[in-house]
């Protein structure tokens, strides 16, 4: 059985006007029904210096977040190095390879997307999105960043996630939004 398409949420991160913000909706689905509507899919690590968001299996994502935090500690809080090392392990380790989740990680300067195929991607336009509503949220964020540059990063994330929730049945309006401190 191959990896299923991750369709359980929408997570969006943006670097805009010197701010870095990560947000997600709170819906968790099991098959065709909503199992929970207020899951917190955004977490702060390293005393708020790094913010993460996840899509996919919650248990799998928590396992990956634990491993990512371990890598951060091992590499002195260097986010990019920790992300690359996690991606290597994720791809090579028999247990981790089976995990079905994706992560967005962000620090004060950049945003990265991590996947189980070993990818560590630096998104174009400093906007990253994962999950079923990713393309809706990313499109909205791109338009807002371009045509409403006066908006704050938090305002853009909130509005883009709201638009995604209006369209995507796997995304709700219970948003959790975190800024890098």
- Predicted local confidence at residue 7, as pLDDT: 54
Partnered with residue 96 across adjacent β-strands are: none
The fold of 10-179 is 3.60.20
The residue whose two tokens read 């670097």 is 15
What ranges do the domains of the chain cover?
10-179
Indicate if 52 belongs to the active site. Answer: no
Residues of the chain predicted below pLDDT 50? 1-6
Q: Please tell me the pTM assigned to this model.
A: 0.93
pLDDT digits (tens, 9 = 90+) for 14-48: 999 999 999 999 998 887 888 889 999 999 999 99
Cα angle 22-27-33, degrees, rounded to a multiple of 5: 155
**Among 157, 158, 177, 174, which residue's Cα sits nearest to residue 27?**
174
- Predicted local confidence at residue 85, as pLDDT: 95
- Residue 111 belongs to what H/E stretch? strand 111-114
Note whether 180 and 108 are within 8 A (CB). yes
């Amino acid at each position: 059985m191959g990896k299923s398409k991750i369709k359980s949420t929408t997570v969006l991160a943006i670097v805009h006007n010197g701010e870095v913000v990560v947000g997600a909706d709170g819906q968790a689905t099991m098959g065709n029904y909503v199992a929970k509507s207020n899951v917190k899919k955004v977490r702060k690590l390293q005393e708020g210096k790094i913010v993460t968001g996840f899509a996919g299996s919650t248990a799998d994502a928590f396992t990956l977040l634990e491993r990512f935090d371990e890598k951060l500690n091992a590499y002195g809080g260097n986010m990019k190095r920790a992300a690359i090392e996690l991606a290597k392990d994720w791809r090579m380790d028999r247990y981790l390879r089976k995990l079905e989740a994706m992560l967005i990680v962000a620090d004060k300067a950049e945003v990265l997307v991590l996947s189980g195929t070993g990818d560590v991607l630096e998104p174009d336009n400093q906007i990253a999105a994962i999950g079923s509503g990713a393309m809706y949220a990313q499109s909205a964020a791109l338009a807002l960043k371009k045509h409403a540059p006066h908006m704050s990063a938090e305002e853009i994330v909130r509005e883009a996630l709201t638009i995604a929730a209006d369209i995507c049945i796997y995304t709700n309006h219970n948003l959790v939004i975190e800024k890098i401190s």
